[in-house]
Amino acid sequence: MTEPDAQPTARPSTRFDDQWDDEPDTGATEPVSITAYPNGPLLVRGPFEILTPTGKVIPPRRKTVALCRCGVSSLKPFCDGSHKAIGFRTEQEPPAPQPPLS
């Protein structure tokens, strides 16, 4: 089992977020966004830092990462695709708020 402070030593070739390749760094300031991927990880995009409970930086190695929210990844905090094997399912997204009727 991976200790909380452990950092992945090598980038596995089967990471779930491989399909979200980094775009070239243009140096532009952009906001951080977190997207809950249906039945999968949280995708974090933009300039961010991931810290251990003791404040050590976990190198993300890319601008977009997938964070595990199913709890079974062997690369926590990163998703390793294990959510597919366990059939992880998320709640359906609630409908977007509607504008008030005028």
Nearer Cβ to ligand FES, position 52 or 82? 82
Q: What would the x/- binding string for ligand FES be over residues 43 to 72, using CB under 6 A? A: -------------------------xxx-x
- Cβ(68)–Cβ(41) below 8 Å: yes
**Which amino acid appears at position 26 of this protein?**
T
Among 18, 79, 95, 100, binds ligand FES (CB under 6 A): 79
Distance CA 82, CA 40 (A): 9
- Cβ(1)–Cβ(14) below 8 Å: no
How many residues bind ligand FES (CB under 6 A)? The answer is 13
- Cβ(66)–Cβ(79) below 8 Å: yes
Q: Which residues in this chain contact ligand FES in the complex, by CB under 6 A? A: 16, 40-41, 68-70, 72-73, 79-83
